[in-house]
Amino acid sequence: GENVEQHPSTLSVQEGDSAVIKCTYSDSASNYFPWYKQELGKGPQLIIDIRSNVGEKKDQRIAVTLNKTAKHFSLHITETQPEDSAVYFCAASADSGYALNFGKGTSLLVTP
Amino acid sequence: EAQVTQNPRYLITVTGKKLTVTCSQNMNHEYMSWYRQDPGLGLRQIYYSMNVEVTDKGDVPEGYKVSRKEKRNFPLILESPSPNQTSLYFCASSSQNGEKLFFGSGTQLSVL
């Protein structure tokens, strides 16, 4: 089955800096790559997603890039703010979302 | 308000005592899914359902049962809980085959 590796497991940045989280996947048939943000005590919330026919997608301070050849995708957060502090999960699916495989998560801390 | 509602939020039980965690969504979503979240392991899919009366196993289905008799409800049943099922459980729903998931707030289960 699909294996999704996520790095780093923890990340600490200063407010205003950029944060980058990277994920690799094993199944070359994967075609859907979402990112979820989980705040303490809450369920994960979708923040951005990308399909395999798109190389990059942006939404305000958040962007995701996909390299199908290398089988990796990354989340970029610019101008980080303390409210960006949370656990972020990447995921991949080879069948348009039916069976998502999640990475183990990255705990991001943004310090003022 | 669009939401996925799980009950209970917290549950402590003993080995072998059957329990049900309920999940209900008010968005008329066809797709629903259950995940468990364990420290260092991320989110792992237990079961999913693409529509009423259609369910499929995820990555970790052993020891769990589900049913989908109505579109809005997707209960998770533990017939004989064991301590290794102590975990944080999330229900999720989607209108797009598992893409753009809406998650519930979670159920923290402890099996003694």
DSSP assignment string, A88-104:
EEEEEBSSTTTT-EE--
pLDDT at A100: 87
- A32: pLDDT strictly greater than 90: yes
Decide if pLDDT at A72 tops 80: yes
**pLDDT value for B98:** 81
| Cross-chain residue pair A45–B40, CB shorter than 8 Å | no
Residue of B nearest to A40 (CA): B105
Q: Of B33, B37, B21, whose CA–CA distance to B76 is shortest? A: B21
Question: Cβ A43–B45 below 8 Å, yes or no?
Answer: no
Residues in chain B within 8 Å Cβ distance of A98: 31, 48, 50, 56, 97-98
pLDDT of residue A96: 60
Of B40, B43, B98, nearest to A89 by CB-CB distance is B43
Tokens of A14: 């200063």
> How buried is B22 (Cβ within 10 angstroms: 0-12 exposed, 13-18 middle, 19+ buried)?
middle
- Taking CB atoms and an 8 Å limit, are B45 and A99 in contact across chains? yes
B90 and A44: CB-CB below 8 Å?
yes
Percent of chain B surpassing pLDDT 90: 92
- A100, A102, A104: best mutation site toward chain B, by most B Cβ within 10 Å? A100
Task: Locate B101 and state its tokens.
Answer: 């998931």
Burial class (CB in 10 A: 0-12, 13-18, 19+), B64: buried
Residue B52 φ/ψ region, left for φ over 0, alpha for ψ in the -120 to 50 degree band, beta for the rest: beta
Neighbour tally for A104: CB within 10 Å: 19
**What pLDDT score does A97 carry?**
60
pLDDT per residue of chain B (112 residues) written in tens, 0 to 9:
889 999 999 999 999 999 999 999 999 999 999 999 999 899 999 999 999 999 999 999 999 999 999 999 999 999 999 999 999 999 999 997 888 999 999 999 999 9
The distance of B86 to chain A (nearest Cα, Å) reads 17
Q: Please indicate whether, in this complex, the C-beta atoms of A98 and B48 are within 8 angstroms of each other.
A: yes
How large a percentage of chain A has pLDDT more than 70? 96
pLDDT mean across residues, chain B: 95
**Is B61 at the interface with chain A, CB within 8 A?**
no
- Say what the pLDDT of residue A2 is: 79
Q: Which residue in B52, B51, B68, B72 sits closest to B4, CA to CA? A: B72
Beta strands in A15-105 (DSSP E): 19-25, 32-38, 45-51, 56-59, 62-67, 72-77, 86-92, 101-102
